[in-house]
């Protein structure tokens, strides 16, 4: 390994709310970070888009905020590594110019076209038997019928925006688009390309496009980028960017990985079955596993990890922290004639204090967090959220706690599915993401899950830390086996036995709400 350890990485975490960039040492210490908020455009037909130019300008802004502080010598910054939201699509021309807004992971407008390519005479769970068998055997999964995978976005563009489709040179995931802006090179990593469902993932060390799957997808192979490993060096930083940022011209751009995979590494959970739960705009529960397997009934699969030669359990729940944002912006502080005053800057700390006043169970109030459909363990684009069982005694404090508990109930449903998938109990769960900064929420998760929760120190920085590790390892500064020791646990939360009985009862009814009402949701929300 190199003798001089005083080297640094610029790590990017482009989430739905905006990019967070950090200066991270090659040992994983976050020196400083900056965040810039981005707009999300939700459309009435199930569309969800963002402006790729806004992404790029915001990333450069975060870089400059950090670099202008001159916390370390610019010459000691040796790499840039990127993690971004997954399952998004940017169409670009031969010159690398984007041809329209990015369709992001919430966009479901391609649903009907996924159903068309999945159709056949003999079907199971909505898929032609012969097609689903091929997808499962080669990829480990299949396109979600909800239409939120990358392949669905491309099919939507092909059918609804043919002028863009024909001009497209390559379709890129958000991470791979940012790498294009950094280097001028078109490429995807083994992990970022997965949700196109056109790669043969059986040999985890040699993932390639499969011509049969590409024919099934009905898209042209030439519109897909070259494939590399997440730890590969894509190239040097563009000279004009190096000059603009004041960085050395040989700064290496690492391929990087999507957010789910980066979080797995940044949580410290790099050993098999070492689980973490992420609470950001969305949420997921995942861990590395030593096998390739798929559960089509719950939408869970083991897919390529960012760590070469490894699989991880892939799943995602659509709205988690977004539910608190909804509570803040659409109910408590909505900009209307009733609003008095402004939303306080510490509103989430106030929410914690409000929730802490209410006993577990929120007085019988249950919140369902399905504000934009659901992906796992339910694949249902029509399901929606709401408050159930309110009474004249229900207060805003009850509603706040019910939101925290409802997101945790949804997480417990996913925990059940993941434990069935891996065939073992997950005794401890690492907690990361912005929501994991809440002590109240972490204790709720411990009680609802009936598991020990390990709150990772600086949980909001897990993704940038994971992206940085992906640069440190190939550059020889550490090994993946060192990652767990480099990630510090802040606090440990144990289940309170006085609360688990209440939560067992509430969780049972939480699931019943979906089962009893799913047909109503479909009738109300089917477009």
Q: Could you tell me the mean pLDDT of each successive run of 10 residues in the chain, 527 residues long? A: 71 96 97 97 95 98 98 97 97 98 96 96 91 95 93 98 98 98 98 97 95 97 98 98 97 97 96 96 95 88 95 92 96 90 94 98 98 88 95 98 98 96 97 96 98 97 97 96 96 98 98 97 89
Closest CA to 497 of 449, 462, 450: 450
pLDDT number for residue 461:
97
pLDDT at residue number 19: 98
Q: What is the pLDDT of residue 368?
A: 98
Pairing verdict, β 428-432 and 275-279: parallel
The per-residue pLDDT for 443 is 98
Say what the pLDDT of residue 527 is: 65
- CA–CA gap between residue 35 and residue 486 (Å, rounded): 24
Q: Mention the CATH class of domain 8-288+460-489.
A: alpha beta
Q: What is the DSSP string of 102-133?
A: EE-TT--TTHHHHHHHT--SSEETTEEHHHHH
Predicted local distance difference test score (pLDDT) of residue 5? 60
Backbone angles phi, psi at 14, to 5 degrees: -90, 95
Is the pTM of the predicted complex or chain greater than 0.85? yes
pLDDT of residue 79: 98
Q: ∠ at Cα 414 (408, 419), nearest 5°? A: 125
Q: State the Cα torsion 505-453-262-85 to the nearest 10°.
A: 40
Q: Please tell me the distance from the alpha carbon of residue 316 to that of residue 374, in angstroms, as a whole number.
A: 8
* Residue found by looking up tokens 């005694």 in the block: 393
């Amino acid at each position: 390994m190199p003798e001089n350890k005083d080297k640094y990485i610029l790590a990017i975490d482009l989430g739905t709310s905006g990019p967070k960039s950090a200066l991270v040492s090659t040992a994983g210490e976050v020196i400083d970070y900056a965040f810039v908020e981005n707009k999300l455009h939700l459309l009435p037909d199930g569309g969800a888009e963002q402006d790729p130019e806004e992404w790029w300008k915001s990333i450069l802004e975060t870089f400059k905020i950090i670099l202008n502080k001159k916390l370390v010598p610019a010459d000691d910054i040796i790499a840039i590594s990127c993690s971004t939201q997954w399952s998004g699509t940017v169409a670009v021309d031969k010159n690398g110019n984007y041809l329209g807004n990015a369709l992001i992971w919430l966009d479901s407008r391609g649903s009907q076209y996924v159903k068309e390519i999945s159709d056949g005479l003999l079907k199971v769970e909505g898929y032609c038997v012969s097609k689903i068998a091929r997808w499962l055997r080669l990829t480990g999964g299949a396109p979600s019928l909800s239409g939120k995978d990358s392949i669905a976005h491309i099919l939507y563009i092909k059918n609804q925006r043919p002028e863009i489709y024909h001009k497209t040179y390559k379709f890129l995931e958000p991470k791979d688009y940012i790498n294009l802006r950094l280097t001028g090179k078109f490429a995807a990593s083994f992990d970022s390309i997965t949700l196109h469902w056109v790669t043969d993932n059986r040999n985890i060390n040699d993932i390639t496009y499969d011509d049969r799957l590409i024919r099934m997808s009905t898209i042209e192979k030439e519109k897909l980028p070259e494939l590399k490993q997440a730890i590969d060096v894509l190239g040097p930083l563009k000279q004009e960017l190096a000059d603009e940022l004041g960085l050395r011209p040989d700064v290496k751009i690492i391929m990087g990985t999507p957010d789910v995979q980066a979080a797995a590494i940044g949580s410290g959970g790099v050993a098999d079955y070492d689980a973490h739960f992420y609470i950001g705009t969305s949420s997921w529960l995942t861990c590395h596993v030593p096998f390739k397997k798929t559960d089509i009934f719950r939408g869970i699969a083991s897919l390529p990890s960012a760590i070469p030669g490894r699989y991880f359990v892939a799943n995602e729940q659509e709205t988690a922290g977004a539910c608190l944002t909804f509570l803040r912006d659409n109910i408590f502080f909505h900009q209307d004639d009733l609003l008095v005053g402004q939303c306080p800057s510490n509103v989430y700390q106030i929410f914690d204090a409000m929730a802490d006043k209410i006993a577990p169970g929120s007085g019988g109030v249950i919140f369902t967090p399905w504000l934009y459909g659901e992906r796992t363990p339910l694949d249902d684009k029509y399901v929606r959220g709401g408050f159930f069982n309110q009474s004249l005694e229900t207060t805003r404090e009850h509603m706040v706690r019910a939101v925290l508990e409802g997101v945790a109930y949804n997480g417990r449903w996913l925990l059940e599915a993941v434990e069935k998938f891996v065939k073992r109990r997950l005794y401890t769960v690492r907690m990361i993401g912005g929501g994991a900064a809440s002590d109240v929420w972490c204790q709720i998760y411990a009680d609802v899950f009936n598991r020990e929760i390990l709150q990772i120190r600086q949980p909001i920085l897990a993704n940038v830390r994971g992206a940085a590790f992906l640069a440190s390892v190939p550059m020889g500064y550490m090994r993946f086996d060192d990652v767990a020791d480099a990630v510090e646990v802040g606090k440990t939360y144990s289940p309170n036995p006085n609360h688990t009985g209440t939560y067992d009862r509430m969780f049972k009814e939480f699931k019943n709400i979906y089962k009893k009402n799913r047909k109503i949701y479909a009738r109300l929300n089917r477009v």
